[in-house]
Chain A
Amino acid sequence: MKKTVLLLMIVALSTGSTSTVYAQKKEHKQKEEVTALFTLNEEICHNCKRKIEGYLPFEKGVTALAYGDDGSTVEVTYRTDRTDTLKLQKAFNKIKLEVVETRLEKQQEEK
């Protein structure tokens, strides 16, 4: 019984790691990555951070997340072949955060 429980635990966790390995392999085909700056209509409070960090990283195509120095901007780096600013803006709306301004870093224009 003990062994069965242990085995189940290992299988459960390895499911997660397998998917990561698979994702890493796929990165070879990676297209362009850009960073978009999403300015919210409010200061990013502790609870907002919790919402953002619990939701955005799992949005398809998102590869990095950071916060701007102004206290209300979220910097999201993503793969352009998998998502776009509109989809990401919808993701913010989903967690009840309102984006008042979206712009791309380094004046990059989205294709």
Chain B
Amino acid sequence: MKEKALLRIDVAGICIYSQSFIDGLHKSELHPAKGQIHHLRFTIAHYRHNPHLKDMLQRYLFSLLLFTVSLHLTAADNKLKGFVYDSSNEPVIGANIYWEQSKKGTTSNREGFFEIELTGKHEHLIVTYTGYIAQSLHIHDVDEELTVILEEDTQLLDELVISRRSPGTVTQRDALLQTQRVTRGEIHRAACCNLGESFETNPSVDVAYSDAATGAKQIKLLGLAGTYVQMLTENYPNFRGVASPFGMDYIPGAWMEGIYISKGTSSVKNGYEALAGQINVEYKKPQTMDKFSLNLFGSDALRMEANADASIHLNEGLTTALFAHYSDDTQPHDRNEDGFLDYPKTRQLNLMNRWNHEAGKYVAQYGVRYVNEQREGGQDVTHGTIDDPYTISLATNRGEFYTKQAYVLSADELAESAALIASGSVHDQQSRYDLTPYDVTQQNLYLSLLYEKDFSHMHNLSTGLSLNHDGFEEHLDNSSFNRDETVLGGYVQYAFNLHNKFILQGGIRADHSSRYGFFVTPRLHLKYNPAEWVHLRGSLGKGFRTANVLAENNYLLASSRRIEIADHLDQEEAWNAGVNATLYIPAGGREITLTGEWYHTRFLSQVVVDVDSDPHAIRFYNLQGGRSYSNSAQVELSYPFFTGFTFTAAYRYTRSMSDYRNGVTGETRFLSKPLLNDYKGLVTTSYQTPLRKWQFDLTGQFNGGGRMPTPDSSNPLWEEQFDPFTVVNGQVTRFFRNFSLYLGAENLFDFRQENPIIDAAHPRSDNFDATMVWGPVHGRKVYAGLRYNIPRY
């Protein structure tokens, strides 16, 4: 194949040379077919010294002239010719070659060769092939034979690896950081009313109720609490501080385009906070989303939910989308008849509007959003039999805005761009835990200026500045905890990429906090592919975080425990290291994906949340040189056994330990973190019929046991350990042309933590505690829904 291509270039070379020869016989430096040119040079020299060969050379030149003319005639037959190769110089068969405006096109043959008729217009020639970056070429000389080299589009390949049936959760093959992409298809595999419920089929992320009264949800990654996981929406930090306990409920499932989960410390671009990992939610984009879609959901617990979104393309460069969500879950449920609602009655209104503006190299996005939520938990007062009931109420109003302004300085092979991200939010929560009022307002402003440049295919540099401001007005009972923190910082990140086989990315950022002074965050990521099917990754980095103990843990007020907060809490600081190997093993015409990983997080300073030293208190204090670490190891295997079928099995072992210090006795105990499963197993399968008219999903979560907070030694009211338990979810979906219906069940076998509330009969006694939750607080839930859409074709 290569020989043929070379021959053509040789011939072209001769033609150029021979024309020059005819013009003046002296332009011997012309390119490019050196072998042939040398041959011709020899012939010319020989001619000068041997006039007898004159006839022969004349014939030779005449034939060359004829050939040249014939080539020009070929060019003059209104066709452009060329070859398409990949980066390893292999011909690309079946590449699409077409004129941008007139759309007239052709495909390349076995040799990668193509001929395309000229249109007579000035237009770009587009060359595309599945899995490769499309080329848009300006043709200067239609007579010249083209050689087009297509580069692999690694990002696209991730999506297209997937031939017939795409797996819902895709391990990002070429991402430097270990990243999983949860697609919209995956999000639709479960009831998925919101982000918190989108991880039911994911082995890496656990989401569980934090307590049995407020409905707050705690996310866990690598055995660490959700506060150590940086939440991003559209790649900027969001839902920090007071929004963290309920933020998972503020993102409706129907709004999401995809979720990206990366483990370990991430890039320094997004700040210093991601200690255990990062979760980025991408909303549907106005440019590509359907014209209109509607999602209606109802469950046997009479939870009702409606989501609608619509997009409008005002002109080629300006698009907008409106999103609306309303949910009503206000029916009281008390299955264990302890007098307390199993989960709170909730009502939420959520609205978002986003805009996208593109004008040449300038791209801008704008968005605004409003959330209103009411939660009421505690004793069930529906039947009015309780005098002076213990109730919990939370009223939340949250407003957000964001904008992203990007200017692409160069979109050539070597990209260069600058961007500004600005976001802000005001989050107000008015709450009452029985007789204790807790009111908090958090104001946040975030600015980030980024610049990025490819110096060559090997070297990339990015740098930027950021500013983050948090203001808290916080009142617990009669005490105020008002505070501000402004952090100004800058970063530099360098990436070295050796033919996508070896990638090194090192970043460092320096920040100054108005509360904690200067601190430096170094991070290093490596990726090495010894073979195409073996991807090895490693990461090492530091992370910092400011603990907002009440705002982030206010659900702990749903107990009679005393709250004790030490003075001068430190900034949290930890190292995280991780290694990961992903193997893509061909088997039976398909591919086994096998992933093994290990992550270790070690805290240098931490705000300890201690519910162990005193069964009647919650204490927040500094680790002060004590030990605190977390180890997490996971193996995951995926294999599509047959067409339309996906299968994933995973097992994770987690060990998270910390020193707990008794302030009274001075005794320190080194214990595993309470209410954390020792392990988690997950098996998830999905089958789609050939024409994707039906889909069947089944997921089993096998949760390990763990340690309960230390009970009162004189009056133990709960066990020291909790047992392993299994939760199974299933769903059937029937697709129609513009709508689908789904019916499913969460927790099919109806497993429940029977009595999650301690001393529920006496909520104002010293023993009352609604925070001892380790398992599902509600049993089986049967649900059904409808998704309708008007596609944008």
Residues of A within 8 A of B (CB): 1-2, 5-6, 8-10, 12-13, 16-17, 20, 39, 41-47, 51, 53-55, 57-58, 62-67, 69-72, 94-96, 98, 100
Contact = CB atoms under 8 A, between A and B. Distances in A.
Contact of A13 (B129, B692, B737, B741): B741
Interface residues of B, number: 42
A16 B692 CA distance: 13
B288 to A, nearest CB: 7
B128 interface: yes
Contacts of A13: 732, 734, 741, 743, 784
A9 B734 CA distance: 12
Nearest to A6: B300
B691 A64 contact: yes
Given A54-B737, A55-B737, A20 B693 contact: yes
Interface in B712-759: 732, 734, 736-738, 741, 743
7 contacts: A5-B300, A12-B784, A41-B105, A54-B791, A70-B94, A72-B94, A96-B793
Contact of A42 (B128, B300, B302): B128
B691 A47 contact: no
B156 A57 contact: no
A19 B694 CA distance: 12
Contacts of B741: 12-13, 16
B93 interface: yes
Contact of A17 (B691, B734, B737): B734
A46 B160 contact: yes
B130 interface: yes
A54 B105 CA distance: 26
Given A42-B98, A57-B693, 8 more contacts: A5-B298, A5-B302, A41-B96, A46-B156, A46-B159, A54-B737, A94-B793, A95-B793
A42 B783 CA distance: 41
A54 B301 CA distance: 32
Contacts of A69: 94
Contacts of A45: 130
A6 B128 CA distance: 50
B734 A16 contact: yes
Given A62-B691, A94-B793, A96-B793, A42 B743 contact: no
A66 B164 contact: yes
B103 interface: yes
A79 to B, nearest CB: 13
Interface string B64-101: 00000000000000000000000000000111101000
Nearest to B783: A9
Interface in B125-150: 128-131, 134
Nearest to B736: A58
Interface string B633-650: 000000000000000000
A2 B300 contact: yes
A51 B288 CA distance: 12
Given A6-B300, A16-B734, A43 B96 contact: yes
Contacts of A54: 737-738, 791
Contacts of A8: 784
A6 B737 contact: no
Contacts of A95: 791, 793
Contacts of A5: 298-300, 302, 784
B737 to A, nearest CB: 4
Nearest to A47: B288
Nearest to B301: A2
B184 to A, nearest CB: 10
A85 to B, nearest CB: 18
Interface string B286-306: 001000000000111110000
B782 interface: yes
A100 B105 contact: yes
A53 B735 CA distance: 11
A39 B107 CA distance: 10
Nearest to B738: A54
Contacts of A66: 164
A45 B288 CA distance: 13
A53 B164 CA distance: 10
Contacts of A55: 737, 791
Given A6-B300, A6-B782, A16-B741, A43 B130 contact: yes
Contact of A51 (B732, B783, B793): B793
A2 B791 contact: no
Nearest to A94: B793
Nearest to A54: B791
Nearest to B93: A70
A72 B160 CA distance: 14
A98 B693 contact: no
B690 interface: yes
A54 to B, nearest CB: 6
Among all A-B residue pairs, the 9 with the closest Cβ atoms: A70-B94, A9-B784, A71-B130, A57-B691, A16-B734, A58-B737, A96-B793, A43-B128, A95-B793
Contacts of A62: 691
A57 B736 CA distance: 9
Contacts of A9: 298, 743, 782-784
A41 B103 contact: yes
Residue of B131, B692, B786 contacting most chain A CB atoms (<10 Å): B692
B141 to A, nearest CB: 25
A71 B103 CA distance: 17
Contact of B129 (A1, A65, A71): A71
Contacts of B94: 69-72
A44 B130 contact: yes
Nearest to B127: A43
Nearest to A53: B692
Contacts of A41: 96, 98, 103, 105
Nearest to A95: B793
A106 to B, nearest CB: 20
Nearest to A67: B163
Given A43-B129, A94-B793, A2 B302 contact: yes
Contacts of B694: 20
A10 B693 CA distance: 17
A14 to B, nearest CB: 10
Contacts of B737: 54-55, 58
A42 B96 contact: yes
Nearest to B691: A57
Nearest to B92: A71
A63 B301 CA distance: 39
Nearest to A71: B130
B750 to A, nearest CB: 15
A14 B156 CA distance: 38
A44 B156 CA distance: 12
Residue of A47, A67, A96, A100 contacting most chain B CB atoms (<10 Å): A100
